[in-house]
Amino acid sequence: MPINILGIESSCDETSAAVISDTKILSNIIANQEVHQKYGGVVPELASRAHQKNIIPVVDRALAEANIDKKDLDAIAYTRGPGLLGSLLVGSSFAKSLSLSLNIPLIEVNHMQAHLLAHFIKDNSENKTNFPFLGVNISGGHTQIVLCKDYFEMEIIGETLDDSIGEAYDKCGKMMGLNYPAGPKIDEFARKGNPTKFKFSIPKVSGLDFSFSGLKTNFKRFIEDKSSSDKLFIEEEKENICSSLQETITKILVDKIIQASKNTGIKNIVFGGGVSANSRIRESANRELKKFKLFFPKIEYTTDNAAMIAIVGYLKYRAKKFTNYNVESKARYDI
Ligand code: KG4
Ligand code: ZN
């Protein structure tokens, strides 16, 4: 009999539920919270309220789409952290109550591990990687290079010292008047632009760490300078600006991946997180990392989703790593 697990994700501004049967995803429902768009970033209080409103309909839809009855579930997996505490509490309370009422195991999942294990979903790729691999976690909250020795044996070997790569996209996008999250919009405009038209600063950070705050300041000055003499500058040049910004961010990332591989001798690279949906990063990695074995999750498993929580739930179920009801949610939770 296959193992059926319900995964629940509520760490930030997506309420998501997914059903997995062994390693195959049967449903993956995601409710995006559009309420944050006009604020230029996620408003924690509004996110918790939206999770409360969404969680029951999202879980109901995930079960219906999977054609699975609650009584056929073997376990409930949920995001324990990291994330916004109020948002995490909605998902964890719901998961605990459901697991108690169905009398089935509860499984806590680290959201950042889940981003890096999403490619173990069976319908994802024929081409599975082996351990060890280098995990490149690039999202709105994190930028990490992770040495992954086994499913649950991961070590951060490089990370951002300030803003995350997703914040670089979102904050620069906001300066251009784009709604949150700006990453996908910048990606879209950039496709029609010239990546070498404008030059932005590449930070000098030693080792495998990253920094994006200097780039943000550089970008802010550039936009202010150009717009002060030409009010239509952003409107007329948005495709070139986005393309040049994206090129700079991509170069920062690819250079660090090459360095991490040199340091560790590992050539299997697994990408995860919302920014790994970026078309230029995918293109550039495929071109410049030809000698590497690259694994990108399917686009629907890059930004926050419960399918990745469900696959980790399955892997933990197999390893009998179950969770007590007194386990607390964690806003900060090391990988
Ligand atoms: O993994 P995720 O959904 O949430 C966190 O765990 O943070 O990542 C969200 C981030 C946002 O910053 C968003 O702008 C960025 O991923 N993003 C992109 C793209 N799609 C989403 N950034 C660049 N290009 C994209 N296509
Ligand atoms: Zn995430």
Q: How far is ligand 1, taken at its centre, from the CA of residue 131, in Å?
A: 26
Rounded to 5°, angle at Cα 201 from 216 and 199? 105
Helical packing angle, 279-288 and 233-264, nearest 10°: 40
Q: What is the pTM of this model?
A: 0.94
| Ligand 1 within 6 A of CB of 86 | no
Q: For ligand 1, say whether the CB of 168 is within 6 Å of any of its atoms.
A: no
Q: Is 9 in the pocket of ligand 1 (CB under 6 A)?
A: no
pLDDT exceeds cutoff 90 at 45: no
pLDDT value at position 329? 97
Q: In what order do the strands lie in the sheet with 268-272?
A: 153-159, 143-150, 133-138, 268-272, 293-295
Which of ligand 1's atoms lies nearest the C-alpha of 303?
Answer: 3
Nearest atom within ligand 1 for CA of residue 280: 24
Q: From ligand 1's centre to the CA of 158, what distance in Å?
A: 19
Closest atom of ligand 1 to CA, residue 279: 26
Instruction: Please tell me if the CB atom of residue 139 comes closer than 6 angstroms to any atom of ligand 1.
Output: yes
Residue in 300, 291, 244, 293 with CA at minimum distance from that of residue 270 = 293
- What confidence tens digit (pLDDT) does each residue in 168-207 have? 999 999 999 999 899 999 999 999 999 999 999 999 999 9
Per-residue pLDDT tens over the stretch 78-134? 999 999 999 999 999 999 999 999 999 999 999 999 999 998 998 755 667 889 999
Query: Ligand 1 centroid to 319 CA: how many Å?
Result: 31
Any atom of ligand 1 within 6 Å of the Cβ of 169: yes
For the chain, what's the residue count? 335
Look at residue 124 in the predicted model and tell me its pLDDT: 52
Mean predicted confidence (pLDDT) in 231-256 = 97
Q: For residue 71, what is the DSSP state?
A: G
- Of all protein residues, the one whose alpha carbon is nearest to atom 13 of ligand 1 is 183
Residue 11 CA: nearest ligand 1 atom is: 6
- The yes-or-no verdict on residue 38 having pLDDT over 80 is no
C-alpha 118/C-alpha 127 separation (Å) is: 13
CA 137 to ligand 2 center in whole angstroms: 9
- Give me the domains of the chain, ranges plus CATH numbers: 4-119+302-318 (3.30.420.40), 130-296 (3.30.420.40)
Chain Cα centroid distance, residue 195: 25
Q: Exposed/middle/buried for 34, CB within 10 Å: 0-12, 13-18, 19+? A: exposed
Shortest-distance ligand to the CA of residue 245: 1
Q: Which atom of ligand 1 is nearest to the CA of 246?
A: 23
Tell me which DSSP letter residue 119 carries: G
CA of 72 to the centre of ligand 2 (A): 28
304 pocket-lining for ligand 1 (C-beta < 6 Å):
yes
C-beta 12 within 6 A of ligand 1:
yes
Q: Is 273 in the pocket of ligand 1 (CB under 6 A)?
A: yes
- Residue 126: the pLDDT is 60
For range 238-259, the mean pLDDT: 98
| Residue 41 reports pLDDT greater than 80 | no
Q: Which atom of ligand 1 is nearest to the CA of 111?
A: 6
Q: How far is the CA of 16 from the centre of ligand 2 (A)?
A: 12
Neighbours of 204 (CB within 10 A): 7
